Chain A
């Protein structure tokens, strides 16, 4: 069994087009939530989202590539490029033959799908663009990464709504740990902003008309986000042998299902996922100093998650710093857990824990040690990142400082 090192990260998000920008925003508690630019919001009850503003495909891709990539695939590839560069890893023929690509995505090529279907339904067009299928398929991000990097090992995409990238990273971790692949690019990407999808979210009545304030008394919902985030995983020994910079060890992964309600979370399911991640990584709960919470800012999630954390950690809960970085990069659905994993390991690596931005006053029903607005210097030995999806599919990742 290999121990697994994280040696590279890549990000494109509302709070930064690369890792240094992303990290700077997290440290400053700077939120990327703003009026949406890419969709006409005049008929929507909410107007804000966490967009990659002024994004131009041509800044990253030539015309031929742009023609076949949806925005969500582009985000995947952009993050993967930076992660590979950041890891300073030489993708030798051996690594290429066995290298894995495991991504999370929730709604796939939404931008392309909406545009093509609008053409049919509204403009009476009689046909779709011939590249519609390769643009909208949920695995397109993983495919384009494997093509660009030349990785021929296991490649797949997981879709578990808001937990997608956590399941992806967790399974890539198990692949490396078991020797099933010598290196993995893993994470998630999402570009969910289309009028159709925003209308569907509007009808759920869980999106905030203002901003995302996780764990606050006056929170009023989630804010959608987009982007891409990728991690490079390799065996710890291999990383040490090549003298790689190691951000952290990915040491545990836990999954569970609520087996309850399709949208209403339970306390038991999330608690089980955390418990299993700790057990999988042989992590003593008393060593956990930080949790990057699922923290959506909805009425139901935040107290439920707080209850689950207390169930696992008991009195130690007071010593655990907790934040939800969704307050800054938004709820990126299929990319959410990957952005949060990067935020967590950068925090551990640099000894600065990112805050919950937009914080006003703690909900008296929530008993957590929240990092409010200002990042907090702290050396933590172990950290958790939580993801709990609609559909009751939960995942938690455990990290250890090396």
Chain B
């Protein structure tokens, strides 16, 4: 997150809102893109709109990672 915003880590508090971090709409789509790449998850456009802070983002990623783990257990890769 700090890398993405090109800020030192200490300037990105864990409870910050995106607004406090000065993020605009392009920063948001860039961040979503990087998170999807990093965690190999897919984030729905509409759900993404309701996320407005770092803690919400972390919770959201955890939910999606749990969902991914559950679905890969349910259907193990065949190859």
Contacts and interface: CB of A to CB of B under 8 A. Distances in A.
Interface of A: 45, 203-205, 209, 220-221, 261-264, 299-300
A203 B46 CA distance: 13
By secondary structure, the A interface counts as loop
Interface in B1-47: 24-26, 29, 32-33, 45-46
B48 interface: yes
Given A205-B48, A220-B46, A262 B32 contact: no
Contact of A263 (B25, B32, B33): B25
Given A261-B24, A264-B24, A45 B29 contact: no
Contacts of A209: 45
B48 to A, nearest CB: 7
Nearest to A45: B45
Interface of B: 24-26, 29, 32-33, 45-46, 48-49
Name, among B24, B25, B48, the residue most crowded by chain A CB atoms within 10 Å (CB to CB).
B25
B45 A221 contact: yes
B45 A205 contact: yes
Nearest to A207: B45
Given A203-B29, A203-B33, A221-B45, 18 more contacts: A45-B45, A204-B29, A205-B29, A205-B32, A205-B45, A205-B48, A209-B45, A220-B45, A261-B24, A261-B26, A262-B26, A263-B25, A263-B26, A264-B24, A264-B25, A264-B26, A299-B49, A300-B25
A105 B33 CA distance: 28
Name, among B45, B46, B49, the residue most crowded by chain A CB atoms within 10 Å (CB to CB).
B45
A390 to B, nearest CB: 11
B58 to A, nearest CB: 20
Nearest to A220: B46
Contacts of B48: 205
A220 B50 CA distance: 13
20 contacts: A203-B29, A203-B33, A204-B29, A205-B29, A205-B32, A205-B45, A205-B48, A209-B45, A220-B45, A220-B46, A221-B45, A261-B24, A262-B26, A263-B25, A263-B26, A264-B24, A264-B25, A264-B26, A299-B49, A300-B25
A300 B24 CA distance: 12
Nearest to B29: A205
A373 B19 CA distance: 37
A263 B33 CA distance: 17
Nearest to B28: A205
Nearest to B26: A263
Contacts of B49: 299
A261 B24 CA distance: 10
B42 to A, nearest CB: 8
A382 B32 CA distance: 44
Contacts of B45: 45, 205, 209, 220-221
Contacts of A300: 25
A300 B33 CA distance: 20
Nearest to A300: B25
A182 B33 CA distance: 51
Nearest to B25: A264
A299 B29 CA distance: 14
B64 to A, nearest CB: 15
A86 to B, nearest CB: 41
Contacts of B33: 203
B70 to A, nearest CB: 22
Contacts of B32: 205
A263 B25 CA distance: 8
Contacts of B26: 261-264
Contacts of A263: 25-26
Contacts of A221: 45
A209 B48 CA distance: 14
A262 B32 CA distance: 18
A389 to B, nearest CB: 16
A299 B26 CA distance: 14
B52 to A, nearest CB: 13
A262 B24 CA distance: 11
A217 to B, nearest CB: 14
